[in-house]
Amino acid sequence: MLMSELSRRTGVGVPTLKFYLREGLLPPGEALSQTRAAYDESHVRRVGIIRALTETVGLSVQQARGVLAVVDDPGPSMFDAFGRALAHLPPTVPEADDYPRARDVIERLGWVYDPRYVAVRQLDQALAAADALGVPLDADRLEAYAPHVHAIAAYDIARIPADPDAAIEYAVLGTAAHEPVLAALRRLAHQDVAAPR
Amino acid sequence: MLMSELSRRTGVGVPTLKFYLREGLLPPGEALSQTRAAYDESHVRRVGIIRALTETVGLSVQQARGVLAVVDDPGPSMFDAFGRALAHLPPTVPEADDYPRARDVIERLGWVYDPRYVAVRQLDQALAAADALGVPLDADRLEAYAPHVHAIAAYDIARIPADPDAAIEYAVLGTAAHEPVLAALRRLAHQDVAAPR
């Protein structure tokens, strides 16, 4: 299909599609002439993913490009690829030499972890922020949360596609998309628990 | 204490403190003269909360002001106040006439809910985003998550302070601060589940 048709199919204007091409978010179509190219269903799908990442997940174009670069070329290690992709998702957390608060929690829980994994520093910063806000999470509370979070995670992992390329895309997009669902569900569960019966 | 001392105690520069005063985030001190005012421990604490909301939670000054306005004056209904405050926290979701997808999920779960509560539209949008990203959450999956999310929420509610003013502050700041902790924990649990033993 031509770009005009891609625009019609995706509901995204031609100038925006050209911007995605220029920024490397959308792979080029098959050149038909100097000024025209043919796009296919993979482009339709890609535009949907770009829109969802930038509009709904709220990523910048640069962050979305980072995520999509890993999805497009995950490399040999699924584990590393997932960590690299997650580093582009919010929250953005600066690197530090050590994350003692997070390490302490994870080790207390007895979970296997890679200390370089971006979630370690996210946990460290999130715990510090909770302290700063005067709503600290003590060890008892984290230990009460842990089995429930772990059960949810086990359910997630069991549903990851077996194909490695599909798996990394699923894991990255699922992380971006499912965290807001779980956050909204927890807010609703608060209401259910607190509601007068 | 004078503003210079408030600056020293909080590590926040005087120009920024003056900005917070101007924007109504920080209540004025007690006037000592035309140009000097006295600040107290409540101001130190408030500056810490403003920093945590804007820097760590990532709220805009306008959003932080909205949250703090509710915390300062929650009004008679804790339930309404919580909803109003949460409307300032991310994700920002436009209002619609109806949220059929979210309603369907919540009703299937049998949870008590107020259809005007902001979390309803957050859930609706988050589910739509997951679909758009090609990682939809089906009813089985949401039902698998629900008891775990509910158990976490019940733990949270049991720890809310009894005093109503303290409760609304705790609930709002806790929602802002604890969601990133839970998201990081889930990412780490994914790693624990997926790690080769």
Q: What is the mean pLDDT of residues B148-170?
A: 89
CB B171 within 8 A of CB B89: no
Nearest-CA distance B133 → chain A (Å)? 5
Query: Which residue on chain B is closest to A46 by alpha carbon?
Result: B133
DSSP category for residue B56: I
Instruction: Specify the CATH number for the domain of residue B50.
Output: 1.10.1660.10
Chain A, chain B: beta-carbon pairs less than 8 Å apart: 257
Q: What is the mean pLDDT of residues A51-75?
A: 86
Cross-chain Cβ contact B148/A148 below 8 Å: yes
User: Are A40 and A132 within one domain?
Assistant: no
User: Are A45 and A61 within one domain?
Assistant: no
Q: Chain A residues with CB inside 8 Å of B187's CB?
A: 86, 117-119, 122, 175
Check whether A26 has a pLDDT greater than 80: yes
pLDDT in tens, B110-132: 999 988 888 999 999 899 889 88
User: Are A65 and A49 within one domain?
Assistant: no
Q: What is the mean pLDDT of residues B169-192?
A: 90
Nearest-CA distance A93 → chain B (Å)? 9
Query: Which residue on chain A is closest to B86 by alpha carbon?
Result: A187
User: Are A51 and A115 within one domain?
Assistant: no
Nearest-CA distance B5 → chain A (Å)? 19
Closest among B122, B186, B193 to A89, alpha carbons compared: B186
User: Are A185 and A101 within one domain?
Assistant: yes
Query: Which residue on chain B is closest to A175 by alpha carbon?
Result: B187
Residue with tokens 């460290």, as numbered in its chain: A124
Cross-chain Cβ contact B190/A86 below 8 Å: no
| Residue A108 amino acid letter | R
How many domains, chain B? 2
User: Are B51 and B61 within one domain?
Assistant: no
Which pLDDT score, from 0 to 100, does residue A197 have? 56
Query: Any bridge partners for residue B31, and if so which?
Result: B37
The dihedral over CA atoms of B57, B62, B65, B67, expressed in degrees to the nearest 10, equals -50
Lowest mean pLDDT among A7-16, B41-50, B104-113, B169-178: B169-178
Which pLDDT score, from 0 to 100, does residue B80 have? 79
Cross-chain Cβ contact A153/B186 below 8 Å: yes
User: Are A50 and A67 within one domain?
Assistant: no
CB A83 within 8 A of CB A116: yes
Taken as a whole, chain B contains a residue count of 197
User: Are A49 and A70 within one domain?
Assistant: no
Instruction: Tell me which residue range forms the domain holding B123.
Output: 57-194
Query: Which residue on chain B is closest to A57 by alpha carbon?
Result: B129
User: Are B115 and B22 within one domain?
Assistant: no
Q: Chain A residues with CB inside 8 Å of B120's CB?
A: 188
Measure CA B5 to chain center: 29
Cross-chain Cβ contact B148/A152 below 8 Å: yes
User: Are A71 and A168 within one domain?
Assistant: yes
Check whether A56 has a pLDDT greater than 80: no
User: Are A78 and A141 within one domain?
Assistant: yes
More confident residue, B196 or A179: A179
User: Are B81 and B140 within one domain?
Assistant: yes
Query: Any bridge partners for residue B30, and if so which?
Result: B38
Distance separating alpha carbons of residues A135 and B7, to the nearest angstrom: 23
